[in-house]
Amino acid sequence: MEAPEAACTIPHELPLFPVQPIGVFLPGMTKTLHLYEPHFISLVEECLATPHRLMATAVLEPYMGGQAQGQGQNEGEGPGSFIGGNNYSLSCGCLVQVLSAKPYTGGYLVRIRGEARLGISGLPQSGPYMRAQVYPLPDHAVAPGEAEGALRAKAEELDNILRDAQNLASKFRCDETAALQQAMRWRYAEPLTPGIAQAPAPASAASSSSTPDTLSVAEGGPAEAQRGAEAASTSGRETEEEEGEEEVMGLEELVRLSWAALQWLPHATAEERMRIVRSRLLAMDTRDVGRRLELAAEAMGEAAAALAAKCALASAGGQGQGQGQQSAAGQAGQ
């Protein structure tokens, strides 16, 4: 049972799969879950019965701030978090699509992929499984100009780090390598919902939309409008060709890169994995795409350097063992 690829409207309520902080789920992440508890089986079956196959994940933690209920924007709570009346909090909400589900040992093997960050505004159902009221939580808009240029410089740095990480990870056939490759493919896919808010249009652009020129095109009829659109399109292509072949990452792709980058690498130690987890939690707590690009570059730079050192040690050990075997063979021949 495979999930449909078409874009869809996000429902206001979704079944919710709670996770611990170490299991925080991010957009771009892919994971296979073995669900066998009756309430989680019911949750999966509800997802499979819908055309969109969407659910939500969120970090469930005790809330020690006293009796409160509502959206938590105070006392250190992250964006889009929800404080329950029973002293618990839900944070780091993520829109998740069920890619496939196969019956397995009294339950399901469910393959899921994170698609976008969500805010949680309510919990209308807590049993047999949770249902949450959700809303999109995109990054803050970026002002055009210098701000976009600075973001692209950060993205280029992260892109270079990820190329090195992919080259190193490709030496190993393991779940971490597969997850990294899937995340890198996801970054180029069409989003189910925008990952960044649009900057407000300049006043001059807004006023120009009602000029007589715009009206004259409309009055010319569909054929005239089509010819004008084709001419504009051709002119745009010629201008792009004159400027060069280099593609510039759009803001949406920058956002998806910042999410997709935070992956575990092969042979990571428990300490190295926890560093990535901390970076994931910080990434979910910011709506600044530039800050998230910095977090990802720092975390993945350290992870790639650690993996490179392990590869170098393994290579040196293999060469030393080979030389020892050759020496032993030579002595035996004498």
What pLDDT, in 10s, does the model give residues 158-217? 999 999 999 999 999 999 999 999 999 999 999 999 999 987 766 554 444 443 333 333
Q: Tell me: do 287 and 265 sit in the same domain.
A: yes
Q: Tell me: do 259 and 296 sit in the same domain.
A: yes
Q: Tell me: do 164 and 43 sit in the same domain.
A: no
Residue 88 pLDDT level (bands cut at 50, 70, 90) = confident
Dihedral of alpha carbons 240, 241, 246, 252, sign: positive
Q: Tell me: do 28 and 126 sit in the same domain.
A: yes
Task: Give residue 40's domain range.
Answer: 13-136
Residue 74 pLDDT level (bands cut at 50, 70, 90) = very low
CA distance 161 to 279: 16
The CATH number linked to 98 is 2.30.130.40
**Over pLDDT 70: what percentage of the chain?**
74
Q: In total, how many domains does the chain have? A: 3
Q: Tell me: do 62 and 103 sit in the same domain.
A: yes
- What is the average per-residue pLDDT within 18-28? 97
CA distance 261 to 293: 9
Residue 71 pLDDT level (bands cut at 50, 70, 90) = low
- What is the average per-residue pLDDT within 219-244? 41
pLDDT in tens, 201-221: 665 544 444 433 333 333 333
Query: Which of 73, 13, 80 lies closest to 47, judged by CA?
Result: 13
Dihedral of alpha carbons 229, 232, 237, 240, sign: negative
Q: Tell me: do 42 and 124 sit in the same domain.
A: yes
Residue 281 pLDDT level (bands cut at 50, 70, 90) = very high
